[in-house]
Each structure stands twice: as structure tokens, then as C-alpha cells.
Structure 1
Amino acid sequence: VRMYNAGLIYRGFRIVNWDPKLQTTVSDDEIEYVEKTDPFYYFQYGPFVIGTVRPETKFGDKYVVMHPDDARYAQYSHGQQIDLEWINGPITATVIKDEAADMETGSGVMTITPSHSNIDFEIAKRHNLDIEQVIDERGILLPIAGEFAGQHIKKARAAIVEKLTSKGLVTKVDEKYVHNVATNSRGGGIIEPQIKKQWFVGVDKEFVIEKSSIAGIASGSATTLKKLMKASVENGGVKINPERFEKIYYHWIDNLRDWNISRQIWFGHRIPVWYKGEEMYCGVEAPREEGWEQDSDVLDTWFSSGLWTFSTLGWPDATDDLKTYHPTAVLETGYDIIFFWVARMILMSGFHVGEVPFKQVYLHGLVRDGQGRKMSKSLGNIIDPLDMIKKYGADATRLSLVVGAQPGNDLKLSEDRVRGYKHFANKLWNITRFVLENQHEGDTFSNIALTEADTALVAEARELAKTVSDNIDNFRLDLAADAVYHYVWDRFAAQIIEESKAVLKGADGPEKASKQRMLSEILIISLKLLHPFMPFVTEAIWQQLPQKENDLLMVAKWPSA
């Protein structure tokens, strides 16, 4: 409602991504391009040759577009009309000179279908051309298609090509044309651009921001949502880790169009707009008078979730929680939703609160199978974490998702990998058993002096704590977990414990007591360092220790060098 009152949300006819399968609009960010091989047809369009992979859209093509600088077509003038034979008989085509035509592609000439293509729609708007719908919301051809009206586009395509062939208008067919087809990432439906009346957020519309703590955006200044999103990161208010994603973020903002926020689905926040005849009302509460009907559309999921950082803290009231916890310190999420969610939260928080929503963004990669392929039912390569937890334990599963998972990079996961960390968990139990078995009941180490060699070994473990801490502080959780994993297995178990066995088997004395204290201290340090990555096993082991500073490991003091 506030954005509507600021003039940033408007309703209008625009070309949108329409999914005939799910019967709803789809945002640009939710489009997934799938590579397909289809025939590419070359048609004779009067004196020109045009190409298309979708002949079923060509019924409305009565404009032929060419670049104004294309010398091949210098004899044709803008607005010139040409009579020619087309799918359902003779038509009069109009020449349009526009820089959108690519002189390097094909013949350099194209016809346009403004109601079913973003590029064509923009050309039609620039030149005030007629826009006629050819395909309805279900993928059915409309009366403009003549004898093909009422047929589904998939069924009609072959018949249309056959008719054009009979007229001698098919000049060539490339049967193995590879191209990317826009699909809905949620349901897999092929996108059919349609002109529809929808609600949009104007990202280039200027507004006055009343209060701002965002560097580069002064309180009371005129700005746009695009500028607000860019300044939040560009001026250091939000740091994105890995840093390389900042360039991707800027590129997305620079190419961002007005955001279509209305959806024709069952679940979501219903758009707070009511209609009564020609009247329209936008508000938090419904009008009290009779006869008003609420808009049946709901808001895009990412519009609603973009409010999360401050709406959960009591906003629009100036609550103590909002003052204390906003902006938050770190947002952790996958790189695949940096545009869906991260950017939307920066937009919403900036407009409504005048603050960045968080100071750091940590982006993890996607989990793929052992061969690096995307997990899918069709490939049968899905690894269910719940199954892994049942077979190998939660800690082994957690560690398999942390070690080697560099920020922003995808992770290859296999059952063998999880099984390997189960062996490490067992190793940790065995280490603990050995250390405890070589202590006497009631032993205390506070008064036992460490030998010079054992002091150095404990110092080495504490130095590891510094390395792990630095990596965690720098969001390199993968390196932190890997360092402590290799230290415990390769250094503590394989070397330090093995080299201590001869002394531990000998008679009691200062050297043996020193070894016992050294092993105990290194075990405690190791458990603390492993706890963020293996909380369950380490906590269970902690409970078995006869001497510990806290009842719970999770509240024990972090080790320092």
C-alpha cells in the first residue's frame, strides 16, 4: 500500500511471461531456459525472406522490420506498404525501420508478433503499431488464424507449414536448429508471452525517500529502487561473499525491467485492491461499503518474502526488536536466489525502513550428485539427507556438506562421501575412549606440569584454533572444517597418540602425567573446534568427560591460541 501511494506500484497492460500449463504469470527470474532441437523455417514474405521456429505466431505479422542503416534495403522507406501473399491469403504489410533489427542475423529482416514477444512488443510501442492477439491463455489459436482457429498451437504447427509449402512460401527448413526455450522453473510449462493487465513495481520511477541510513542515498533525496539496490552494495552497506557475485548483482540491476508482482495462483498474500464499477481502492483494510470486490490475484512470493527482515520484528511499529536486530549481521542462502530473494529484501528494506536488511550475504553453492549432475527424479540420482542421517548419522551428513563446499561453488555429493565422515565420527569416539582409558579416576591436571615437548603439542592445537577461527570469521567454513578434520585424524590420532603410547604403558611419573594432561587438553580443544560442524557426536562425547568446564559443550568457551 505504501509503495502504491508512492506511485511505485501501478496496474497496466504489459507483455508478461504466461504459463498456459499452470495458468499464471511467471517472473523473469523464474524462467529456466531449456535447450531443444526444432525445425527452423525460412518463409518468403513478399520480396523478403524471414525465419522462425514458431510459424503458428505469424498470423498477426503485418509489419516487416529492418535496420535503418541496412544498405540492402535502402530502397524501402519507413511506413511503405507492400502487398503480398501470406498464410490465409493476400495481406498488406508495412515496412518499419528500427534499430532492433539485427543486420547480421539471417536476411536482416524480421516480421513481428507484438502480442507474443517482448522485443516485438517494444517495437510496436515505439512506432504506435497495431497489436493483435494470436494465441489465447490456453495455447489455442484465435479467429485471426482463420481456418486454424480453435486448434492448439502444437497441433496446428505442422498444418500451417503444410499450407505455406503448398503456396510455395517455404524456401528452406533447418531440421536441426538448436535453441533455448523459456520454461517455468516451477512446473516446466513452456512460456507463452501474453499481453495482460497486471500489477507492476516501477524500478525506474523516482520517489522521495523520507529516511535513509544507506550510504549514497540521503534522507529526503529523490531516488529510484534501482539506485537504492545498487548503492546498498556499491557503497559497502551490504557485502556479498564471494565477491564475484557483486558483478552479477550489478548486471542484473542494470538490466532490470519493471517487476510483475501479480500471480494467478491459489496461495499467497492477496492483492489489497478492491473494485466497484470503474472505482478502485487500495488499502490495508477492505472498504466498509457494499459492492466492492477484491482483486483475485495474489502477490508474487518474492514480493512477500522480501519483507521478511523487518516485518517479523514488528514493523511498521518502531519496536525494540526492530531497533535491536535490524539490520541483521549475516544472511546465508544459495547463489541461485540472489535475485529472487536477496535483491528483493534489499529493495524492500531500503524503501520501507531506509536501511540495508543485512550487512553480509554468504552464498553457498548447489548440491549435485557425485558426477556433478543436477539431482532429479528422471536421473534417479537424488540423495535424500534424511536417508543419509538414518544410515550414517546427522553429523556425518553435515560434515559431508561442509568440507569442500567453497562459497558460491557447487558441491558433489555421493553416499560414499557421507560414509567416509561416518568413519571419522567413529574415529573420534575411539580417540576419546583411548584418552579416557589412560587416565585414572579422579585425576585432575591443574597442578600437573607439562613437559616442554607436550607444551609445544598443546600450543600447536591452540594455533589450529586460531586458524579455524580466522576461516570462520572469513566465511571459509569449508577450510575451517577441513583443517580440524585433518588435524584430528592425521596429526592427533595418527601421530601424537601413537607416539604417546610407549610412555602411557610405562610406570607412573611426571612424563606420563604430562602425556595424560596433554592428550586430555588436545581432545577438549578438538571437541570444541569440531562442535560447530559435528554438534551431536561432540556433545555426546563431552558428556562422558570426567572433567569439563561446563555441563554443555555448546556454551563452553571457544579455544584461543
Structure 2
Amino acid sequence: MKVIPKAYEPEQFEQDLYRQWEDAGYFRPEVNMGKSPSYDRQTDGKPFVISMPPPNITGKLHMGHALFATLEDIMTRYHRLMGSPTLWLPGTDHAGIATQTVVDKSLRKQGINKNELGREKFIEKVWEWKEQYGSTITRQLRRLGSSCDWSRERFTLDEGLSHAVRTAFVDLYNKGLIYRGVRVVNWCPRCHTAIADDEVEYRFEKGKLYWLKYGPFILATARPETKLGDTAVAVHPGDQRYLEMVGKKYTIQGVLGDFEVVVVADNAVDPEFGSGAVKVTPAHSFTDYEIAQRHNVPMKQIINENGRMMDNTGKYAGMKTIEAREAIVADMEAMGLIDHIDEYDHNIATCYRCGGVIEPIPSKQWFVKTRPLAEKAKKAVEDHDIKIIPERFEKVYFDWMDNIRDWCISRQLWWGHQIPVWYKNLPQLPELPELTRNKKQVEAGQEGSPVSAKNSEEFRFSIIDPEDLSWILSNIQDTHNYEYVDFFDGQIRTRIDTESFTCTEKQTDRTGVVAKTGLSGYIDGVKSCLELRSTNGFAKYEIEFKGQVPDRFTGRPVIASTEILNHQVDNTSGVSYYVGMEPPRGEGWVQDPDVLDTWFSSALWPFSTLGWPEKTTDLDYFYPTTVMETGYDILFFWVARMVMFGLEFTGKSPFETVYLHGLVRDEHNRKMSKSLGNSLDPLDLIPKYGTDAVRMALVVGSTPGQDIPIGEGKIKGYRNFSNKIWNASRFTILRVSEGDLKTGEIGGESVSDLAIDQELLSPADQQILSRHQEVKRDVSRMLNEFRFSLAGETLYDYFWHTFADIYIEASKNQLAPDADQRIRENTKKILIKLLSETLIMLHPFMPFVTEAVWQELREIFPSLPKYLIIAKWPFDADKKTTRS
């Protein structure tokens, strides 16, 4: 005889149930697509798709992982129950800096030096480490009940995704949206690599604000050591105090002797801060760099990649910046160059990975030109192609897009996607060739390195007839993009100005040309009127292209975009370089040593995981995805970039809805940390309270975009709820089957169907059935509206306080031995209906206890689906989370 245990012991059910689900293939979307899936939205229905934010392979499951896994599993299980083909696609991230650091530390403990090992051998060691430890996080996600389709699991460095990354890089490069240039970047001296703007974390520190006697000015600065790199003083254009000084040069007394600065007027200056005048150090401040760009102010670098003062700083050379600050302040005080010093709260930029202080320095790096991509990504949200939840984060998204800077994508690491660029005939470390005429600008801190089109193996010219030439010019922010090229008898001559050219019938040598690959990104939506691709150098351009321009565009402003493709030769240095999917043929080629920012491959995640750039069945059916669920803290790191790349490479928004969860904090709303001793480890909590309790504690009380306080007491409370579900269900099953409440033995009695006789309903029956219908409607609506906390609370309150406490008690009289047999039968049907449908609604939140009860319930009502995970949702809800 079947016996139902008195107590629910999660460890006796959870892992076994999960194995049964996975082995049966219930996590795959095909489970709701019939026996012969066609992967056609008209035939199989529109799928519900989530791409899991790939956790780092170095990761160990923490409460943040548990939160996103629970939320995404709730959505996945709900839509599976709704009958939708449902795909939750899992994967992991290679995590460049993090993984390289972990493996490097491990090797050092073994007495192995990474540099002595060499790049190739080190990467082999990382792959060995990945094979041994990389699946730890996915095993732990299974422990949480994540019903992902593991058969489609991806890794950001697997062969397919690596191919996608190279395809994306080459495509963006050929479009002029990737370039290599000199810019001030966030440099981590400890990790010895550049990092992107949104990888910088900030912390407040008590410090000092130094008021310097600076020629005719009194200037305030937190970094007096950077005075050695000053080249200008900036004031606000509307500041009447300094109007007569703008444009003039002044000699400033310094600790290494006198130097000269020019006064510029720029809107970036806050006239209310300090004296309203600020010193400009273009090489070591992003704001100063941009001011220098706008006013053609030269740049002087004084801090190197090790965070130390350079040789051009005299006696301070070799000092760390903090040491140099102390020494320079002492010398300035001795010279009477400090007016006074105030206490000051600094906002210090630090590396997100190692916590070290970031040093802005000029560096030659690879960049994605983001503004053309950002315009389309912003419009997708403005036009409601993408909905962000909570809505208030749309403003944050727009602000970031409006103020976006080019994205530094190169990292000085070994582990990752090595940049698909090769160099030949290198006299030293690889340097992208520069035109001689541009060297002075680069040295002056003006970004970019336009390459010579002469002797190119293949290049493309496009004459553009823009609707508004001034709009394009006003949006070109790089100095070298204002270079026009005149053609006189096949000779190239240049000048810097901002005039536009108009073609005339006679002046065939006055065709305006912007000679910069990156222009292409600014002509989105503008008609390309004439295009030529040539492999025969400028001679073919002269004959076939230049001659057509006046005939086609007489009296009209034009722009000619030059896009240089694949293998280039710089005729000034003799250095060749090649950009492509595979290494070029021949000997002597050396690949660029840098790797791509981890977020570059992650930005391709929603479609590369489905087979892009190939036209696969999965890509055609499952893309665009439905929901992107992630933390609000990576809205810029990841979400915005996925939108930009999705639109650029597929022409479609990568998802319809972005759901942003908050950070998990302790019960006192403090950040969880080892130092505070307030961290909760889900891997410790699950054996103690059960997975379902942890999941419910994370979801109930949470709202999108808000941090979630959680303590062990809350988890314990939901462990009690798991027990309540088990006990109430056990009582119901035993009473319905005429079983033994003491021994737990299920009886032989049952019911043939759930057809309820409405005429036999008692007031208690009518009340519970009415409330039950309301709950089904409300919970369905809440889940469609992403109100997971409220849905969980509603189900908790209904099951505990209405079904268990009220109706089960009321049913005891109706099931008494002396009660009318017809009423007894009707009551059993009501109990089975209420319990089975409530278990289905609770399943997305608490999958294990509900499935365990379901299997017991099938003993007395075997016509129920074999597993709860594939049952049918009990309310025909409007699927508002999907769109046809």
C-alpha cells in the first residue's frame, strides 16, 4: 500500500525529480511543439525565449545568481505550462580578466610563472582549468531547479561563438565602426590593461583640495602632481571674469621650471567650482582630453602604464603618483606656489576586478564607434520596440545613450578572443600605420589613425547624397574626420576645415571627400548614390570614380566615404596589416596580441547562441528573444550593447522586454560581504531549508529595479510554507482516497472525473470556488505583467489562509462518514480540482514540493499528466509578455 510520509524532506526529492525532468526532455522547447516540430511560428506557435545572462566560469553560486535563476525559471515554467514552445538557453562566460587572474594565481602557487610559460602554454592551462572547474556554476544552477535546455548550452569561447565574434569584428571594421586610435583610456596599473568606462567602480575617500598659485589664476585641484602635464587653462565662455584672457598664453612657474599654457573657453567648465578656472591636463583626465580635442590643445603624458611618473618629470621620475604628489606639494609649498589646502571628499575611480586605482592615460587601443549604433538603440526604446521594466530606467538608458563615448574594446590579456588583425614586416611591437601628416595630431592627443588608401589591396568608395550635410558634419566628433581631400592631377593634398564642397561642371578637382573609414556610421538612413569597389589602386579611382561625380552631382553638396578593406599597406612605413576571419597566407604575419573586451562577445549573446552568423533553424524560430532578465547594474555593461549589436547585425531588436532586478542585500539592507559576516550562501541554505524556500524568499517582497533585503529568518518562514503545502496536500489526498490519516496509507477509493455538480454546492464550496477563480485570473495577470512578488504573495495567502485553513476545515463535515454520499463525492472532486490547479500555479515558484505532491496525487487520480512540469495552466490567460 502506498504511504505518504508525514514530513516533507526536500533532499529526498529534489535531485531525483530534476534528473527525471531533464532525462524526459521536458526542458526542451520541442515538448510543446508536437511530435514533428516544424520550427515555424505559424504552425508551432510563437515561442517564449530567454537567454540566460552567462555567469563567469570562475563563479560560485551566490544569492545574485539565485535571484536571476529563480526569476527566469518562474517565467520559463509559467510559459511552458501555458503551452508555449519555451526555450531558456543557458551558457557561461569566459570572463577574461577574472579567469586569467584565477589561473595565474593557481600557477604561482605551483611555482609556475605565467610569462616564462608563454602565451600558448598558458592558454592551454586555462582550458585545462575550465574543463575541471568551469561546469561548477552550471551544476549549482541545476540545484536551484533551473529548467534550462542544457542541450543548447553555449560558452562565449566555443567554436561557434568565436566565429561569430570574428565575423562581427570584421564587419564593424569594414563599415568603419571599429578603429584603432590614441585616446585617454581607463588604465589599471595592477591588471595592466585598459578597461571600459562602465567597468570602473567608484569609492569615496577623504582627501585634500589644493589651491595653486598659477600665474594670474588661483586654481583648485585634487591632483597637483598632474601640473607637470598641464597645457592649458579652461574657463566657461560666459564667465565675465576671464573673457579678456581667452586665447592668450601665459607663462606659469612650476617645480621643473616655467612652462606655457593657453586659455580656452569651454562649456565643460563649471564657473561655480573653485575660482571658475581649471587647469587642463589632456593626457590624464577624460574631461581635459575632450577640452583639448575641441581646442586643438597639445597633450603631454607624464604617467606611465605602471602608474609611475615618466622620465620627462625630472627628479620625480619613477615615483608612484601618490609619492610624487607628496614630493611636489612639498616643493610647491617651499616655492610659495600653494595658496591654501582644503579637506575634500574624492570620488576615486577603481578597477571593478582588482579594486586598484584607475589611471587615465593616453593609449593606442581598438574602439567601437558607438554613436551611430546608439542612435538606433535609443530609437528602439523610444518607439516601444523594447520595453524596460521598471519604466524609470528608460531615462537612465536614454541619458547614457545621449552621452555615450566610443567603446574601448581591446584588453592587454592572453585569455579571450584575440583580435583578428595581423601585421607583417614589423620592426617592433605591432602599431597600426599612421599617415605622416597625422603624426603631429596624434602626438597632440587628437585621436585616431587614418590609414593611407594608396596601395590598398581592396577599398570601397561611396558618394553620399545626404538629406542634411550639416547634420552629418555636426555629429562627426573625431578631429581627423574633418579632413577633406582635393584631387589635382592624381596628387593628394589635404587641409583641415569644416567647409562643404559643391560640385560644378568645370571644377572636377573640387570634390569634397572625407577620408576616414568611420564616416560610414554617420550616414545611417542616407542614400548611397554611387559606389565603387576597386583592387587596382587610385588610378582606377581617378578614371572610373572621380570622373562620374560632377556629372551625377552638379551643383550639389556631396560626401565621399572611403572604406579600406582587408589587407592594407602603409606606404610611409612599409608595415602591412590584415583584418579578416582567418590568418592571411604567407609567412611573417603576427596577430595583434590584445584580446577583445569580454562584453564584446556578450553583446552578441542573444543571436550568436542561436547560430548567427549562419542562418540556422534556431535563429529563424527563436530570435528575437522574448525577455532579457538581468540586474540593473549591467544595463550599460550588457543590455545597451546587446541592443546596439542586435540591431546592427540582425536588423531586429534582440528582445521585446528588459526586466531589471535589484541587488540582494541583508535583512538590514546592507551589502552582503565577507568582512561584515552577513553573506548568505545558497549552497548552505538549500540543504537546510530546501530549494523552494530559498526561491520564494528571494521573489516575494522583491520589485523590479529595487534592492532585495533577505535574511535567514525569511527563508525559514518559506520552509514552513513548503511543509504547509505538503501537510495540507497529504490530508487532502488521504481524505479523498479514504486513506488512513495516522499511517499515511492511501485508500482504494477515488473519483472517476472532476465534473462538479453545481446543485450540490454548499456555501463553503461556492465561496472557495469563486475565490479560486479570482486567484487564477489574478495570478495569470500578475505573471503576464512581471509582478512576480505579488503573484507569489497571492498564492501563499490563498493556499495557506483560504484553501488550507478555511476550506479543508469546512470539508471535514462534508466528508464525514454519515454525510450524503453525493455530497461526499462532490467535495472530493472540488478538493482535487482546487489542489491540482493550485499546485500548477505554485509550480513556477516552488517546483520541487509541488511536483512531489503531484506524484502522490496521481496515485488517486491517474488521468492527471505524468509530470506537473508539463501540465496545462488552469486559466486561459492573455499572453501579454509575448507579441505576434
Match of 1:156 among 324, 346, 371: 324
**Matched residues in 2 for 1:448 and 1:47: separation?**
93
1:245 to 393, 402, 411: 393
Q: How big is each residue's C-alpha offset from its partner over 1:137-178, in whole Å with a ceiling of 9 and x where there is no partner? A: 111111222111111112222221111111111211113x11
* Post-superposition offset of 1:72: 2.1
- Separation in structure 1 between the aligned mates of residue 238 and residue 390 of structure 2, nearest angstrom: 44
State the one-letter code of the partner of 1:547. F
C-alpha displacement of 1:9: 0.5
* Distance in 2 between residues matched to 1:451 and 1:97, nearest whole Å: 84
Instruction: Note the C-alpha offset of 1:306.
Output: 0.9
Contact 2:751–2:828 at 8 Å: present in 1 too?
Answer: no
Partner of 2:869: 554
Per-residue CA deviations over 1:63-84 (Å, capped at 9, x if unaligned) read: 22223432223442413333x4
Mapped contact 2:189–2:359 kept (Cα < 8 A): yes
What SS does structure 2 have at the residue aligned with 1:291?
coil
Give the residue type in structure 2 aligned to 1:560: F
Aligned to 1:476: 787
| Residues 239-286 of structure 1: per-residue CA shift (max 9 Å, x gap) | 222222222111111111111111112322111011113211100000
The answer to whether the 8 A contact 1:31-1:185 is kept is: yes
Equivalent residue for 2:376?
Answer: 228
Deviation at 1:445, TM superposition (A): 5.4
Could you list the per-position Cα deviations for residues 109-134 of structure 1 after superposition, in whole angstroms to 9, with x for gaps in the alignment?
11111100011112222222221111
1:535 has 2:702 as partner: no
For the residue of structure 1 that corresponds to 2:856, the secondary structure is coil
Query: In 2 relative to 1, CA 239–49 (structure 1 residues): closer, same or farther, beyond 3 Å?
Result: same
Counterpart contact for 2:768–2:802, Cα < 8 Å: no
**Distance in 2 between residues matched to 1:96 and 1:252, nearest whole Å:** 27
CA apart distance, 1:394: 0.4
CA contact (8 A) 2:215 2:250 kept: no
Structure 1 vs Structure 2: percent identity of aligned residues? Answer: 48
Q: Which residue of 2 aligns with 1:108?
A: 276
Partner residue, 2:548: none
1:489 equivalent in alignment to 2:800: yes
Task: State which drifts further: 288-297 or 447-456.
Answer: 447-456
**TM-score normalized by the length of structure 1:** 0.93
Give the Cα–Cα distance (whole angstroms) in 2 for the partners of residues 45 and 99 of structure 1. 21
Give secondary structure in 1 for the equivalent of 2:330: helix
How many angstroms does 1:477 deviate by?
1.3
Matched, 1:32 2:201: yes
Task: Name 1:460's counterpart in structure 2.
Answer: 771
In the alignment, does 2:313 pair up with 1:165? no
Letter in 1 for 2:636: F
- Which residue, 577, 583, 603 being the options, matches 1:306? 603
Which of the residues 815, 818, 835 maps onto 1:504? 815
Question: Structure 2 vs 1, CA of residues 417 and 300 (structure 1 numbering), >3 Å: closer, same or farther?
Answer: same
1:94 is paired with a residue whose SS is strand
Unaligned runs of 5+ in 2: 1-169, 426-574, 739-747, 877-884
1:478 maps to a residue whose letter is S
In the alignment, the residues of structure 2 paired with residue 122 and residue 227 of structure 1 have an alpha-carbon distance, to the nearest angstrom, of 21
Q: Which among 248, 269, 280 is matched to residue 417 of structure 2?
A: 269
1:47 positional shift: 2.3
* Partner residue in 2 for 1:402: 699
- What's the secondary structure of 1:324's corresponding residue? helix
Cα distance in 1 for residues equivalent to 2:832 and 2:210: 77
Taking the aligned partners of 1:521 and 1:497, their CA distance within structure 2 comes to 13
CA distance in 2, matches of 1:228, 1:73: 41
Whether 1:390 and 2:702 are equivalent positions in the alignment is no
- Cα distance in 2, alignment partners of residues 21 and 380 from structure 1: 28
Question: Which amino acid in 2 is paired with 1:194?
Answer: I
Q: Secondary structure of the equivalent of 2:634?
A: helix
Q: Matched residues in 2 for 1:512 and 1:442: separation?
A: 12
What residue in structure 2 maps to residue 258 of structure 1? 406
For 1:538, the aligned partner's letter is T
1:412 equivalenced with 2:731 (yes/no): no
Is the alpha carbon distance of 1:444 and 1:241 closer, same or farther for their aligned partners in structure 2, counting shifts above 3 Å? same
Shift in Å at residue 539 of structure 1?
0.3
**TM-score of the pair, normalised by structure 2:** 0.59
Going from structure 1 to structure 2, the CA distance change for 1:96 and 1:227 (only over 3 Å counts) comes to closer
CA-atom RMSD in angstroms: 1.7
Q: Which runs of 5+ in 1 are unaligned?
A: 205-223
Q: Does 1:421 align with 2:718?
A: yes
In structure 2, relative to structure 1, the CA distance for the partners of 1:448 and 1:327 (3 Å cut) is closer
- Aligned pairs, how many? 540
Paired AA for residue 751 in structure 2:
T
Checking the alignment, whether the CA contact within 8 Å between 2:813 and 2:819 is kept in structure 1 is no
- Contact 1:445 1:517 (C-alpha < 8 Å) held by counterparts: no
The residue number in structure 2 matching 1:293 is: 590
Residue identity matched to 1:88: L
Q: Does 1:183 align with 2:350?
A: yes
Q: SS of 2:207's equivalent? A: strand
The answer (yes or no) to whether the contact 1:30–1:184 under 8 Å persists in 2 is yes
Question: What is the DSSP-based 3-state SS (H/G/I as helix, E as strand, rest coil) of the residue aligned with 1:518?
Answer: helix
Q: Counterpart in 2 of 1:139?
A: 307
Maintained 8 Å contact 1:182/1:191: yes
Q: Distance in 2 between matches of 1:159 and 1:486?
A: 67
* Alpha-carbon offset, residue 2 of structure 1: 0.6
Say which structure, 1 or 2, has more relative contact order (CA 8 Å, 6+ apart): 2
Partners of 1:361 and 1:123 in 2: how far apart?
Answer: 36
Judged with a 3 Å threshold, the aligned counterparts in structure 2 of structure 1 residues 457 and 291 are, in CA distance, closer, same or farther, namely same
Hey, what does 1:444 align to over in structure 2?
751
Partner in structure 2 of residue 23 of structure 1: 192
